[in-house]
Structure 1
Amino acid sequence: MSLTPSNMLPLGTNAPDFKLVNTIDDTFVSLDEAKGLNGTLILFICNHCPFVIHVNPQLSQLAKDYVSKGINCIAISSNDVDNYPQDAPHLMKQHAIENDYKFPYLYDQTQDVAKAYNAACTPDFYVFNDELKLVYRGQLDDSRPGNNLELTGKDIRDTLDSLLNKQPVSKTQKPSVGCNIKWK
């Protein structure tokens, strides 16, 4: 497994806009349509990365816990499917169903969205406030495949709870780590 850290996009950055196909229902989804009233969690993931496979249960639970509170989740896969066919859109749909995703799973065929977000790895997490300003980028929590730490989503949950409670988000943010995005 590669250990690629996330790039730390500057806090306060406006969320780059996009309109991508949702592989779950084959509709196009824009950021404006999918954003949450109180905040938006954007995650760059893929089907085959062991780091994503490890966090999948928490990704599904995050959406279940926070969508009703006005924080929406949006997942994006930007991997090159010619060289990594396991990440193809039809398999993304299957992956989303198997992992009980309650959020859109979008396909970034051109990889332009990943580049706009300066995404580097899977999983890579970005939390934006209600004005779509970046307040957090980094890891889900300290758990990694094989390190035997409990998967809790603590870092993201603390951030989302701070947003909801109108409290400052911690400036101490650790980069995520995972497989590199498979660039064309």
Structure 2
Amino acid sequence: MSNTPSNMLSLGTKAPDFTLPDPSKNNELQSLESLKGKKGTMIVFMCNHCPFVLHIIDKLEELYEDYKTQGIEFIGINSNDVIKYPADSPEMMVDFVSEKGIKFPYLFDDSQDVAKAYQAACTPDFYFFDENLSLIYRGQMDDSRPGNQKEITGEDLIIAFENLLAGAEQEEFQRPSLGCNIKWK
């Protein structure tokens, strides 16, 4: 388990566009434009096998359920090299979605071009955009990590979501996410 921090893409960055297949929907192509939320869009780079993702996935799905009705959409993207890491293959993504009850789109970035465009570094790596797809938060979900005995609260994401919904400024200090490095080809 490596401890790779996020690169912390500059706030205000426009979300790089993409169209990627959704393995859970017969590889139907999904675009950022078609999936984005009315008020905000959370993009999370994740995978099936990372202990950091497995640690937070239930809370992430819970947050999705809490905020989707308020106009915030979540999009998961797996950019890992599936030749070296077959547990992250599209077929295994379908199983992961089913086993974990994931209801938000979970797309496959085989070329890794989307991860590179976002400067993603780890799983999970969170990017939260406003209704204009301008980056307003990037960083950690909360202070919990596998083995550190801290409760998984989703606090940092909740603050970002609530600030957006209230029309308030985002926190100036945003802590990087920490996880396994993206498995580059």
TM-score range, shorter chain: over 0.9
Amino acid at match of 2:48: N
Residue 11 of structure 1: aligned partner: 11
CA–CA distance in 2 between the matches of 1:22 and 1:158?
29
Amino acid at match of 1:99: K
**TM superposition score normalised by structure 2:** 0.98
Question: How far apart are residue 17 of structure 1 and its match?
Answer: 0.1
CA–CA distance in 2 between the matches of 1:59 and 1:20?
21
Q: Does 1:76 align with 2:81?
A: no
Extract unaligned runs of 5+ from structure 2.
none
> Which runs of 4 or more aligned residues in structure 1 lie more than 3 Å from their structure 2 counterparts after TM superposition?
none
| 1:24 alignment partner, SS class | helix
Question: How far apart are residue 62 of structure 1 and its match?
Answer: 1.1
Q: Does 1:117 align with 2:141?
A: no
**TM superposition score normalised by structure 1:** 0.99
Question: How far apart are residue 51 of structure 1 and its match?
Answer: 0.3
Q: Does 1:22 align with 2:22?
A: yes
CA–CA distance in 2 between the matches of 1:80 and 1:164?
36
Q: Does 1:178 align with 2:179?
A: yes
The share of aligned pairs that are identical, in percent, is 55
Q: C-alpha deviations, 1:95-141, integer Å up to 9, x for none?
A: 01111111100000000000000000000000000000000000000
CA–CA distance in 1 between the matches of 2:64 and 2:144?
19
CA–CA distance in 2 between the matches of 1:158 and 1:149?
18
- Paired positions, count: 184
CA–CA distance in 2 between the matches of 1:62 and 1:98?
18
The 5-angstrom pairing of residues 26-65 of structure 1 reads: 26-65=27-66
Cα RMSD between the aligned structures? 0.5
Q: C-alpha deviations, 1:37-88, integer Å up to 9, x for none?
A: 0000000000000000000111110110011100000000000000000000
Amino acid at match of 1:22: D
CA–CA distance in 1 between the matches of 2:5 and 2:22?
26
CA–CA distance in 2 between the matches of 1:71 and 1:94?
25
| 1:9 alignment partner, SS class | coil
